[in-house]
Structure 1
Amino acid sequence: MKFFAIGLGIGSLAGLGISLLPNPQTGHKVKEDVRQFLNNTKSDATTLAASKNQAQAAASQLMSELPKAEQSVKDIQSSVTNFQSSIKPEVDQMKENISHLSQEVKSTADKVKNEL
């Protein structure tokens, strides 16, 4: 931020110096252009400062909420693991039943085929 402010100041001074070089415009027009340039620069600097403050506030809020989010993720992981453990016996039983049914279907199909 320090270097940005230095660059902004140097750029402003350079722009002011260039605008004062001899040109076909009247002194009043040059003064108005310089005044408008300085007002725009001031407005931009104010906007930048406000944006910086908003970004800092958002970062601070994120850092304060991060532990809650991490705990929520851990809780979800634990719940998923517990769910998988609780349904494993039922899934294994279903696989066994499917295997038995497949064998019975094959056996029945073979019997029907032999009878034809």
Structure 2
Amino acid sequence: MSADPGNAERPQWWGLLVEENVRTGRARWWDARLVGEHYGTHEEAIQALWPFVRGHKPVFPRRIERRQVFREESGYLALFTGAMGTSYPCRFVARELVWDSGERSSPPLGPV
């Protein structure tokens, strides 16, 4: 959520991220990847996440038996259940970009 609650309704840059439970052997951790960026309102950024949610192929489970997607304030929570009944969570979130050390073009003009 934005530091200023009024910011969610004005156009700004949003990072579209996937936060996924991954593992190597017995070790598990959360990994976050930037899958896209969106300039617009928070609600528009969440809508821009949907294609990533629908098309995502998680690392685990390798064979998905069930896919459940829940809407959250900041995006979506997906539960992928494998053949052995183990569920693997995956979050798709829109986060406000508040600082970027790289070069960024100015926001687009007109409708996005």
Q: Do both proteins adopt the same fold according to a TM-score greater than 0.5, normalized to the shorter chain?
A: no
**TM superposition score category, shorter chain reference:** under 0.3
The structure in which a higher percent of residues are helix is 1
TM-score normalized with structure 1 length? 0.21
TM-score normalized with structure 2 length? 0.22
The structure in which a higher percent of residues are strand is 2
Q: Which one has the largest radius of gyration?
A: 1
Bigger RCO (CA 8 Å, 6+ sep): 2
